[in-house]
């Protein structure tokens, strides 16, 4: 297909031989000639760091090592691919690799959400590459479009479904009417949820990705601690039922947005929560374990990127793209985009963020209830869009959808509603996203 390039080989070390690592190794070995043609030099696998060497891992035994520290600083390694997961171990290995002048490709969103600054500075000092397309939304190109394709535009909002586990659960709840606990158990049986699902269902994974997306979209360092976070574990089948009655579905969204601060200055918001999404919004039809990211930019308008957000093969595709780019830079000179944090915008607290809300409450079925409830919303300057009354007697339900209001005003309203004598319970409060009213 192609002549050997004649250039010196690019040595690659892979840390971790799980789903992603195995697929990266497979592609490196099976597509060696194609990769050489694309890079302009042979791309050679020097070693694979694993925790234990036992049994047949499907790769030549001489490539395996438990000594990751030595592997990442080996003289014949140019690029280190980190797909171990965790934070402290990969952090030290990546820093060691960068400080030894190796370029690094990682899929580790939890690490990046907290330590991008430190890692980017190490890469900058040694003038090497730090690529991490695989950290957000698996195979879907999101990092590169934001850092490169939209580099001359002004991004105003990024809103995405970037966690497959929660999207699988919410899609299944929407489809079957089953409750959260049963659906989570089923997701576990099918391999869509881990034994300890906390990182996914409580939104930590989505928040880490939101931190990464906000950092690059707004040229500001954003860490996981800056991201407001609610998970899906309190979502009920009643919420999905109510969402349907409002022509919506429920999705766990990671949202990064430019907002006006209360002092008029430009701020940014990064937040993760389950929200009602109108059925005609492009994110509403992203079901199962799929991911999608919608980007709104000043000149480009609204863009959407859709695909498989997790799994060994899709994640490996993103890792391999980064690896080829890092290798090309080694051969031809140049570097990929470095960290951009010049804008240094402040994070707006969640209380200042205006969205629409859905409030579901149980009320006594008595004359004047609706008027009293409406008065409470008005008192806190929260304008009501629609009200739906359901059932009769003390189990009567009242569903209120508001116009845009700040989180603070809504929280005060809900607290006040809870004190009203004829409001038995405020059973659910969710935000409504993707609607302009």
- The residues of the shown chain that bind a second copy, judged by CB under 8 A, are 1-2, 23, 27, 31, 34-35, 37-38, 133, 139-141, 144-145, 148-154, 219, 282, 297-308, 313-314, 316-325, 328-329, 332-335, 337, 340, 342-344
Phi then psi dihedrals of residue 393, to 5 deg: 75, -160
* Shortest Å, Cβ 423 to a second copy: 41
Nearer to a second copy, 149 or 427 (CB): 149
DSSP 205-238: HHHHHHHHHHHHHHTS---GGGSEE--STT--HH
Nearest approach in angstroms of CB 202 to a second copy is: 28
Distance, CA of 398 to CA of 391 (rounded, Å): 9
Residues 6+ apart with CB under 8 A from 264: none
Question: And the tokens for 144?
Answer: 């590169």
**Known binding site for L-homoserine: residues?**
194
- With 0-12 CB in 10 A as exposed, 13-18 as middle and 19+ as buried, what is 385? middle
CA distance 166 to 181: 12
User: In this complex, which beta carbon is closest to a second copy, that of residue 281 or of residue 431?
Assistant: 281
Cα 292 from Cα 295, distance rounded (Å): 10
Confirm if 192 and 315 have CB atoms less than 8 A apart. no
Give the separation between CA 228 and CA 425, rounded to whole angstroms.
25
Residue in this structure with the two tokens 């699902």, named with its chain if needed = 197
Taking Cα atoms as reference points, which of 432, 311, 436, 422 lies closest to residue 369? 422
Backbone phi, psi, residue 213, to 5°: -65, -45
Q: Are strands 130-131 and 266-278 parallel, antiparallel or unpaired?
A: unpaired
Of 48 and 369, nearer to a second copy (C-beta) is 48
Q: What's the closest the beta carbon of residue 12 comes to a second copy, in angstroms?
A: 11
Structure tokens at 285: 């039809």
Please enumerate, by residue number, every residue annotated as part of a binding site for NADP(+). 15-22
For residue 70, give Cα distances in angstroms to 9, 74, 80, 142, 143: 20, 6, 12, 33, 30
Minimum distance of a second copy from residue 177's CB (angstroms): 22
H-type helices in 127-251, by residue range? 143-144, 164-176, 180-189, 198-201, 204-218, 237-245
Residue positions forming the annotated binding site for NADPH: 109
106: tokens are 């990682």
Pick the closer one to a second copy by CB: 303 or 372.
Answer: 303
Selecting among 92, 102, 126, 209, the annotated active-site residue is: 209
The smaller minimum CB distance to a second copy, of residues 115 and 218, is found at: 218
Whose Cβ is closer to a second copy: residue 298's or residue 437's? 298
Q: Least Å distance between CB 354 and a second copy? A: 25
Report the 10 Å Cβ neighbour count for 173: 24
Helices 164-176 and 180-189: crossing angle, nearest 10°? 120
Give the shortest CB-295-to-a second copy separation in angstroms: 8
Binding residues: 15-22, 109, 194
- Residue 148 is classified by DSSP as I
Least Å from the CB of residue 344 to a second copy:
8
Question: Is 209 marked active-site?
Answer: yes
Nearer to a second copy, 175 or 182 (CB): 175
Catalytic residues: 209
């Amino acid at each position: 297909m192609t002549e050997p390039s004649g250039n010196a080989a690019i040595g690659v070390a892979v840390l971790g031989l799980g789903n992603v690592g195995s697929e990266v190794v497979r592609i490196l070995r099976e597509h060696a000639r194609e990769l050489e043609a694309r890079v302009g030099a042979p791309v050679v696998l020097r070693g694979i760091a694993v925790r234990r060497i036992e049994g047949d891992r499907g790769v030549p035994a001489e490539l395996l090592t438990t000594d990751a520290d030595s592997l990442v600083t080996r003289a014949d390694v140019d690029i280190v691919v980190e797909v171990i997961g965790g934070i402290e171990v990969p952090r030290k290995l990546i820093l060691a690799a960068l400080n030894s002048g190796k370029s690094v490709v990682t899929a580790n969103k939890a690490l990046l959400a907290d330590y991008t600054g430190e890692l980017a500075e190490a890469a900058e000092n040694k003038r090497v590459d730090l690529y991490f397309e695989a950290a957000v939304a698996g195979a879907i190109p999101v990092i590169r479009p934001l850092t490169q394709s939209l580099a001359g535009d002004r991004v105003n909002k990024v809103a995405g479904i970037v966690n497959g586990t929660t999207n699988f659960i919410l899609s299944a709840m929407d489809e079957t009417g089953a409750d959260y606990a049963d659906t989570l158990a089923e997701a576990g049986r099918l391999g869509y949820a881990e034994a300890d699902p906390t990182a996914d269902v409580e939104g930590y994974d989505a928040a880490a990705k939101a931190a990464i997306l906000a950092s690059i979209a707004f040229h500001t360092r954003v860490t996981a601690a800056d991201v407001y976070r609610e998970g899906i574990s309190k979502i009920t089948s009643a919420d999905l039922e109510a969402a349907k009655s409002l022509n919506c579905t429920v999705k766990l969204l990671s949202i990064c947005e430019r907002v006006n601060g209360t002092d008029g200055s430009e701020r940014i918001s990064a937040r993760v929560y389950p929200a009602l999404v109108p059925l005609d919004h492009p994110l509403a039809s992203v079901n199962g374990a799929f991911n999608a990211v919608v980007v709104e930019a000043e000149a480009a308008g609204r863009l959407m990127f859709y695909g498989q957000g997790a799994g060994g093969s899709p994640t490996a595709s993103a890792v391999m793209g980064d690896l080829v780019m890092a290798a090309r830079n080694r051969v031809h000179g140049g570097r990929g985009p470095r960290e951009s944090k010049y804008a240094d915008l402040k994070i707006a607290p969640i209380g200042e963020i205006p969205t629409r809300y859905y409030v579901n409450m149980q009320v006594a079925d008595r004359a004047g209830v609706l008027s009293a409830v409406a008065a409470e919303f008005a008192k806190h300057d929260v304008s009501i869009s629609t009200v739906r009354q359901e059932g009769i007697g003390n189990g009567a339900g009242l569903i209120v959808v508001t116009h845009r209001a700040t989180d603070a005003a809504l929280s005060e309203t809900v607290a006040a509603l809870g004190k009203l004598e004829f409001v038995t319970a405020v059973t659910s409060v969710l935000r409504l996203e993707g609607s302009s009213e």
